[in-house]
Structure 1
Amino acid sequence: MNFKSKYLKPFKNLYILIFSGFVVWMLFFDTNSWLTHRGLNSDIDDLENEKEYYKNEIDKDKKAIKELSTEEGIEKLAREKYYMKKENEDIYIIEYEDSLKNQKKDE
């Protein structure tokens, strides 16, 4: 009996009971609880990572726009991506075996 009363003695104090209840309320049940803040901080971290990703994508797009703003850049894109050619020239597409294997994996 002495063992139990030694550990339960602080909880017989009214101030400690009220303080303990207040701490539990603030950590778990309040609208500004620790759990809520933890979730919001996680959301903020995810959004900051997403922001960095989109900044990098914007930089890539700006670079592509800059390249396409010249006549040579447009011609290069047309030749490489759309296989366009001038009237008096022929285009030969050379595919290697390992590039064909990679295309099959992508499909």
Structure 2
Amino acid sequence: MNWKSIKKNKYYQFFSNKYVLISLFFIVWILFLDANAWFTSHYEIDKQIAEKEQNAAFFRKGIKRDSARISQLSTQKGLEKFARERYLMKKQNEEVFIIEHPDSVKQKENE
């Protein structure tokens, strides 16, 4: 092949057109090289969406757990149990003994 036959080739003529070259450069720039490149920005957005979905799942689990706790506290028996365990409340004419095991007692740091 000589140079004249290469210049007559339709692909060479198409890709040597200055408008085609500028368009190709622009497309490559937009897709890959720009700060807001199409592939880069979509990758970051997909990563953020996955993170938000994980947060949503975590909070849904927390809502489910809290709803179960609220349903327990809505009954008189559940509320009484919570008050006894958490706030050491007792009924009238009743004695409460608190038993602490040595491994469950918090030690002072200065001792």
Pair 1:87-2:89 in alignment: no
Residue matched to 2:63: 58
Unaligned runs of 5+ residues in structure 1 are: 1-12
Using the TM superposition, give the Cα deviation of residue 28 of structure 1 relative to its aligned residue in structure 2, in angstroms: 2.9
Unaligned runs of 5+ residues in structure 2 are: 1-14
Residue matched to 1:4: none
Pair member with larger Rg: 2
Question: RMSD in angstroms over aligned alpha carbons?
Answer: 2.7
Using the TM superposition, give the Cα deviation of residue 99 of structure 1 relative to its aligned residue in structure 2, in angstroms: 1.0
C-alpha distance after superposition, 1:14-58 (max 9, x if no partner): 357753552232123274611111111111010000000000001
Residue matched to 1:5: none
SS for the counterpart of 1:40 is helix
C-alpha distance after superposition, 1:61-97 (max 9, x if no partner): 1101110111100000000001000111111111111
Q: If each structure's helix is expressed as a fraction of its own residues, which one has the higher value? A: 1
Contact 2:30/2:37 (CA < 8 Å) preserved in 1?
Answer: no
Number of corresponding residues: 93
Residue matched to 1:44: 49
Pick from 52, 56, 74 the counterpart of residue 79 of structure 2. Answer: 74
Contact 1:28/1:34 (CA < 8 Å) preserved in 2?
Answer: no
SS for the counterpart of 2:100 is coil
Following superposition, which runs of at least 4 residues in structure 1 exceed 6 angstroms of deviation? none
Aligned mates of 2:58, 2:27 — CA distance in 1 = 42
The TM-score normalised by the length of structure 2 is: 0.70
Aligned mates of 2:92, 2:105 — CA distance in 1 = 29
The TM-score normalised by the length of structure 1 is: 0.72
